[in-house]
């Protein structure tokens, strides 16, 4: 499958695990089959807009949030800011706040 399908699938998996949902529970909430959710998460299926909308609605994530920062995906190997964004966006709000505080402290230390 395409890189975009894999990226979107990984994001769906990240949001699902962040919410503490199994694939089966997400399938139930979205009206999709659990096998289909697994295929989406692995980037094996090209989802319809309707199914993506149902999945994001079940996750409580906007479509714009799911698709943000997708430009420039051709060469992610050297895109450290995007990799950091992907890592942090998959964390809970509390974990994001802690990571941000850590980064601020590291930046202060570097400045001294």
Length of the chain: 112
All structural domains of the chain with their residue ranges: 3-111
The per-residue pLDDT for 21 is: 94
Choosing among 3.40.50.920, 3.20.20.410, 3.30.565.10, 1.10.260.40, the CATH entry for 3-111 is 1.10.260.40
pLDDT, tens digit, for every residue of 59-87?
999 998 898 877 654 455 567 877 788 78
pLDDT, tens digit, for every residue of 2-51?
788 998 999 999 899 888 999 999 999 999 999 999 999 999 998 899 99
- Contacting residues for 80 by C-beta, under 8 A, at least 6 apart: none
């Amino acid at each position: 499958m395409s890189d975009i399908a894999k990226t979107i699938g990984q994001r769906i998996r990240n949001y699902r695990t962040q919410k503490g949902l199994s694939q089966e529970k997400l399938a139930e909430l979205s009206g999709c089959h659990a096998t289909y959710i697994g295929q989406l998460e692995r980037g094996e299926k090209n989802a319809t807009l309707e199914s993506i909308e149902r999945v994001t609605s079940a996750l409580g994530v906007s479509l714009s949030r799911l698709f943000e920062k997708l430009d420039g995906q051709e060469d992610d190997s050297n895109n450290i800011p995007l990799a950091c964004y992907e890592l942090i966006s998959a964390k809970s709000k509390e974990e994001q706040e802690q990571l941000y505080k850590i980064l601020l402290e590291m930046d202060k230390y570097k400045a001294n």
